Amino acid sequence: MTELASLPQFPGLTLLVLLPLAGALLCMFHGKRSAECRWLALATSLAVFAVTVYLFVCHGQGDGRWLLYEDAVWIERYGIRYVLAMDGIALLMVLLTAFMQIAAVLLAWRVERHVSSFFALLLLLEAGLMGIFLAYDLVLFYLFWEVALIPMFFLISVWGGVNRRQAALKFFLYTLVGSLCMLVAMIALYQIHGAQSGVYTFVIGELLQTQLTAAQEGWLFAGFMAAFIVKSPLVPFHTWLTDALTEAPAAGSLDLTGLLLKTGIYGLIRIAFPLFPNATANFLPVLGVLALVGLFHAAWSAYHQDDIKRLLAYSSISHLGLVVLGLAAWQFTAWEGSILLMVTHGITTGALFILVALIRERTDTRSMQELGGLWGQAPCLAFMFLLFSLASLGLPGLANFAGEILVLLGTFQEHPLWAVIALLGVVFTAAYMLRMIQGVIWGPARKERTLPDLTAREWLILLPMAILVVWLGIYPEPFLAPLHGTVATLLAGGLP
C-alpha cells in the first residue's frame, strides 16, 4: 500500500471526485443560462467517464489488493486521513457510476424548472457516489455517504411527483437513522482500536487488526449493518425505497436504483464483512434468509402493481435480494455473480426506468390499465422495452443471466436449499416481468394515440446500454477479470 502511495502518479481517484464537484459548482454559478448548464453537465460526465475508462484500461489488471491507492493527512487530531483506494469491485462500480451518469444527464436534458440547480445536484450526487465507492477511511466514507443523500433529497423534494415531500423526508430519515448508528459504531471501533494499539486512526485497513470480544463485535457489526441494510434495502426496511423511486424525477430514479442502492451492498462487502469477520460468519444465515424473504416478498408485491414505475421499484428490491443471497453464500462464484449482477441490474433496471419515463412523457400515464399496444404505436421504443425487460428477467444471452446463474451455481454448492428456493424466485421474476411486457407492449391499445418514436437523443441514451446488455450477457469475462483477485482476498480475509 505504502509503496503505491509514495509513487508520484496521476491522481485519478481524486479526479473522479473533484471533476463532478467542480462541474456542480460551475453549474450552480451559471444560474441563468440553462442551455450552457446542460452542455457543461454532459461535458463533465463525459470527462469523468473518460477517466474511469482510462483507469479501467491502464490499471484494471493489477495484482495485489489495490489497483490504486491515494493517501493524505486530513484531520490529524482524530487520525482521519484522506484515503481513496480502488480494487476490482470499486473499479466496476466507478465505471458503472460514470456510465449511468451520462445517461442521467441526457435523460434530464428536457427538465424545465431550475435547470442549473438540477444539473448541479446531479453532478454533486455523482461526486458523492464516487466518494462512497472509493473512500477507505471511515470518516471520509461517512462524509460521502451523507453528502450523496442531500442531492437526492432535493431532487426528490423539488422535482418529484405529487407526494414528493413525504417521500423525500422518508428517504432521508430512514437512511439517516441507519447511518447515525454506523457513526456511533465507527467512533466506538476507533476508540477500541486506539486503546489497543495506541494508534488512533479511522483508516479501514488498520482497523482490520482490531481485536474485539464477541459482544463488542456483535454490537459494532449491528451498527454498521443498520446503515447498509436500510440502504440495500433488505425487507423489512425497504418501504422508503418504493416511495422514493416512484416520486423521484426520471434521472433521480435512474441514479437511485442504478447506483445509490448499490452503496449499501458495497458497504457490506467493503466495510462490514472484512471488519467483523466473526459476527459476519454468525450473521450469514440470517442474511441469507432475509435475502430470500426479500426476493419473494418484493416479487409478490411487484406482481400486484399497476403502476409500472412502482413495479420496477419492487423488482429492484427483488433483484437485490438475489445479490445479497449470493454474498450470504460466501462462495467465490456466488460473490462474482453478485457483483456482476449488481452492475447488470444497474444497467437493465436503469434502462427500464428511462423507458418508463419516456413512455410517461408520451402517454402521460404509468398505469398498465391505460397502456398497451405500444408495439404498434412506437415500435422502436417497444423493442427497447422488450429487450431490457427480457434482460431483467434473466433471459440467457442478456446481461442479468450471467450474474444470476453464477449466483445460483455458487449458492448451490454451499446451500443447495437456498439455491432451489431462489430459483423459484427467478421464475416469479419472469412472471411479473412478462405480465408487464404484456400490459405495456402487446394487446390492443387502450387508447388511440399517435406516439412519436425514439428521438436521436433517446437513441443515444439507450443504444450504448443495449449494446452493453448484450455484451455482458454473452461475454462478461472482461468485467469479471478485475474481480478475481479482489474477491479471493475478501473471502480469504473474511471468514476464519
List Cβ neighbours of 67 (8 Å cut-off, separation of 6 or more). 55, 59, 60, 86, 87, 88, 91, 482
Number of alpha helices (DSSP H) and beta strands (DSSP E) in the chain: 23, 2
Secondary structure (DSSP) of 346-401? HHHHHHHHHHHHHHHHHHS--BTTT---HHHH-HHHHHHHHHHHHHHHT-TTSHHH
Counting contacts by CB under 8 A, is residue 159 touching other proteins?
Answer: yes
183 binds other proteins (CB under 8 A): yes
- 289 interacts with other proteins by CB under 8 A: no
Question: Least distance from C-beta 237 to other proteins, angstroms?
Answer: 15
Nearer to other proteins, 90 or 168 (CB): 168
> Is 18 among the residues that bind other proteins (CB under 8 A)?
no
33, 110, 165, 304: which one binds other proteins (CB under 8 A): 165
The residue among 190 and 283 lying less far from other proteins, judged by its C-beta, is 190
Q: 334 with 326: CB under 8 angstroms?
A: yes
User: To the nearest whole angstrom, how small is the minimum distance from the Cβ of residue 268 to other proteins?
Assistant: 21
150/423 with CB nearer other proteins? 150
Environment class of 122 (CB within 10 Å of its CB; exposed 0-12, middle 13-18, buried 19+): buried
Task: Specify whether the CB–CB gap between 319 and 291 falls below 8 A.
Answer: no
Q: Is residue 187 a contact point for other proteins (CB under 8 A)?
A: yes
222 makes contact with other proteins (CB under 8 A): no
User: What CA–CA distance (Å, rounded) separates 74 from 52?
Assistant: 25
Q: Which of 46, 47, 150, 423 binds other proteins (CB under 8 A)?
A: 150
Residue partners of 351: CB distance under 8 A and separation at least 6:
103, 384, 388, 462, 465, 466, 469
Q: How far is the CB of 238 from other proteins (least distance, A)?
A: 19
Nearer residue to other proteins within complex by CB, 31 or 478? 31
Least distance (Å) between residue 245 CB and other proteins: 19
154 binds other proteins (CB under 8 A): yes
- Name residue, grid cell 448451490: 412
How buried is 478 (Cβ within 10 angstroms: 0-12 exposed, 13-18 middle, 19+ buried)?
exposed
Cα 412 to chain centroid, rounded: 25
DSSP state at residue 304: T
Residue 122 touching other proteins (CB under 8 A): no
Minimum Å distance from CB 317 to other proteins? 24
174/283 with CB nearer other proteins: 174
The rounded distance, in Å, linking the Cα atoms of 423 and 408 is 7
**Binding-site size, other proteins (CB under 8 A):** 34
Which of 19, 92, 123, 168 forms a contact with other proteins (CB under 8 A)? 168
Site for other proteins in 50-89 (CB under 8 A): 75-78
Please report, in angstroms and rounded to a whole number, the separation of the first and last CA atoms in the chain.
23
Q: Judged by CB under 8 A, does residue 147 bind other proteins?
A: yes
Whole-number minimum distance, CB 183 to other proteins, in Å? 7
Q: Is 452 in the site for other proteins (CB under 8 A)?
A: no
With CB under 8 A as the contact rule, the residue among 9, 10, 25, 31 that binds other proteins is 31
Position among 18, 22, 53, 180 found at the interface with other proteins (CB under 8 A)? 180
Q: Is 188 in the site for other proteins (CB under 8 A)?
A: yes
In b/e form, how buried is each residue of 434-445, taking b as 16+ CB within 10 angstroms? Answer: ebbbebbbeeeb
Q: Which residues contact 71 (CB under 8 A, 6 or more apart)?
A: 1, 2, 5, 81, 82, 83
Is residue 226 part of the contact set for other proteins (CB under 8 A)? no
As a whole number of angstroms, the distance between CA 445 and CA 305 comes to 19
* Sites of contact with other proteins (CB under 8 A): 31, 75-78, 113-114, 139, 142-143, 145-147, 150, 153-154, 157-159, 165, 168-169, 172-173, 176-177, 180-181, 183-184, 187-188, 190-191
